[in-house]
Amino acid sequence: MPSYNPPLRDMQFLLHEVFQVTNEFKAMPKHAEVDVDTINAVLEEAGKFAVNVTFPLNISGDEEGCTLDKTTHAVTTPKGFKQAYAQFVEGGWAALSCDPAYGGQGLPFVVNQCLYEMLNSANQAWTMYPGLSHGAYEALHAYGTDAQKQLYLPKLTSGEWTGSMCLTESHCGTDLGLLRTKAEPLPDGSYKLTGNKIFISAGEHDFTSNIVHLVLARLPDAPVGSKGISLFVVPKFLVNADGSLGERNPIFCGGLEHKMGIHGNATAQLNLDGAVGTLVGQPNKGLAAMFVMMNAARLGVGNQSLGLTEVAFQNALAYAKDRLQMRSLSGTKAKDKPADPIIVHPDVRRMLLTAKAYAEGGRALSTFCSVLIDKELHHPDEKVRQNSAELVALLTPIVKAFLTDNGWTATTMSQQVYGGHGFIKEWGMEQFVRDARINMIYEGTNGIQALDLLGRKVLGNQGASLKKFGKLVGQLVEEEGVNEKMAEFINPIAMLGEQMTKFTTEIGFKGMQNPDEVGAASVDYLRVAGHLVFGYLFARMAQVALREIAAGNADPFYLAKLQTARFYFAKLFPETATLMRTARAGSRVLMDSDAALA
C-alpha cells in the first residue's frame, strides 16, 4: 500500500526563502496582512486533510469507479467520496482563495495551489470535482453579469454547488470552431440549448444539490468558426430569484466513459435537450470568457502531474531503501544483510533523482506562476499587473505540457524502481501511471500547448514575452556571475539564454516561409523553454541553499537541494542540446512522408 507525506518543508522553502511571498503581499492591499505563520498553519492543516481524508480513498475509488443509473441519469461516486467532499466544504477549503464579497476567505492564490498539489498527490480523481468548480468560479467572476454573480458565486465559493466546463463534442476536441450545440433565444432573455457534449469531467455526481455547467454553443446567426461561439451558464437545476432550486433542467448524463485512469471521477457524456441557460459575456465572444476557465484548468492539470510526481517519488524512494537486490558495484554496503538495498545502484538513483528533480522543479514553477497570478489580480501598479499577466500567459503552456510530460516520465520511472512489483496493483504505482497519462491529453494536448507557446506566445509578439523572462535570467546571471560556487548553475542558463534568441529567430524565419516549420519544431521548442525556466528556478533555489550553508545552517535540507540541482543540471538540462538539433531538422522529414504513412 502506498503512503504520502505532504512536502511542507519544500513548500515553505519556496514560499518564504526563495520567493519571499509575504514581502510581495505587502504591496497588495488585499493580502498585506497575510503572514508566514498564517500560511504555514493553513498548509499544515491542508496536508492533514489530504493525508487523512482523501488519500485513503484513492485506491478504493479507483477500484470502484462511478456508476450511472440510466433510468434517472444519476451518477453515484465511489464510497466515501461524497462524505470527503462534505468535510472539504465544512472545513472551508472550497472558499480558501475566493473573493470575500461572495463568502470567500480571500487568501492568496498561491496558497490555494499548494493545497491542490497535496490533494492531487492524495487523490487526483477526487480533487477534480472541487478543482473544476474553481474554473467556473473564475469565469463567472470575470465575465458574469451582476445577477449571475449574485446567483451562482456564493454557492460555488462555499462549495454548496460545483461547476463544470462543457466544451468538447464527439466530432471536435481542440477545434472548438466545429462545435454544433445550438442556443436559441427565448422571450425572457434566456436561451434554450440543444446538443451533446463528451468528456465532461465531474459533469454529473452526487456531491451537491446543483452543478453549474458552463457550456459553449452557437447562436442562430453566429458566424462560422471560433468567432461564432458564445458561453452560457446552464445549471443542473434551474435557480429561482431567491437562490432556491427550481425545476430540473434537461441537461442529463447519457453515459460515463470507461477510462485508463482517474476512475473515481465521472467523465460524463451530457445531452442538452432544450436546457435553459443565460449568456455569459458578449454574444459570439464566448471563447474569451471560457479561456479564463481553460487557462485555470491548464495550470491545474500541471498541478495534477506535480502531485502525482511527488507521491510516486516518495513511494519509490521508500521502496528503494527497503528492497534488497544484488550487491553494490563498488563493494558491499549492507554487510549484515544478504544483499544491498537497491538504492545503492546508480541507475536506481538516476530514476529517483529524475522524479525528485521534476517534482521540485515543478513545484517551483507552480509557485512562481501562482505568485505572478496574485500580482496580476491584486497588485496596485498597473505595469506590474500587465507584466505579470504577460509572463503567466507565456508560462501557462509550459506548466501544462512540461510538467505533465515530466510527470509521465517520473511516475513510470518510479514504477520501474519497483521492478515487477510496480506492475502489480496492490503497490499502487500502476495507478499513478494510469492517472498521469490523461494529464498530457486533456485541456489541450501537449502538442497544442507547444503550438500555443511557439506560435502565439513567442512568435505572436515577436518574442517580447520571452525577452521579459530572459531579463529575469539575465538579472540572476549578472548577480551571481562572479560567484564560483554558483558557476555550475549559472553558466548553463546563461548559455541557453543566449542560444534561445538565435534559436527562436531561426525558427521564426523558417516559419514565415513555411508554417509547417513551426509545427515541426514546437514540441522540441517547448521542452527547451521548459528547461530554461527550470534551470532559472533551480539556480535560484541553489542560490538560497548556498547562502544558508555559508551562514552556518546545518539543516541537511539545503545540501539535499544542492545535490538535486546538480543532478538536474548534469543529467536532465543537457537534453536541450538534442532538442535544439531535432527542432532544426525541419518539417520536410515529417511532411514528405506520404509513402511511409500510406
Identity (one letter) of the amino acid at 575?
E
Residue with cell 502565439: 456
Report helix, strand or coil for 219: coil
Between the alpha carbon of residue 141 and those of residues 134, 199, 233, 408, the distances in Å are 10, 24, 12, 33
DSSP string, 8-64: HHHHHIIIIIIS-HHHHHTTSGGGTT--HHHHHHHHHHHHHHIIIIIGGGHHHHHHH
Strand bridging mode 67-69 / 74-76: antiparallel
Between the alpha carbon of residue 366 and those of residues 306, 360, 362, 418, 534, the distances in Å are 9, 10, 6, 28, 11
Report helix, strand or coil for 78: coil
Is 443 a known active-site residue?
yes
Q: Give ∠ CA 51-57-58 in degrees, rounded to 5.
A: 90
> Which one, of 238, 227, 223, lies nearest residue 188 by Cα?
238
In whole angstroms, what is the distance from residue 526 CA to residue 432 CA? Answer: 24
In whole angstroms, what is the distance from residue 61 CA to residue 65 CA? Answer: 6
Report helix, strand or coil for 80: coil
Strand bridging mode 230-235 / 191-201: unpaired
In whole angstroms, what is the distance from residue 264 CA to residue 59 CA? Answer: 9
Neighbouring-strand partners of residue 239: 245
214 and 163 in contact (C-beta within 8 Å)?
yes
State how far Cα 131 lies from the chain centre.
Answer: 10
Alpha helices in 211-344 (DSSP H): 286-322
173 and 235 in contact (C-beta within 8 Å)?
no
318 and 181 in contact (C-beta within 8 Å)?
no
Q: Which residues of 418-436 are buried (b: 16+ CB within 10 A; e: fewer)?
A: beeebeeeebbbbbbbbbb
Q: From the candidates 376, 443, 480, 548, which is the catalytic residue? A: 443
The catalytic residues are 443
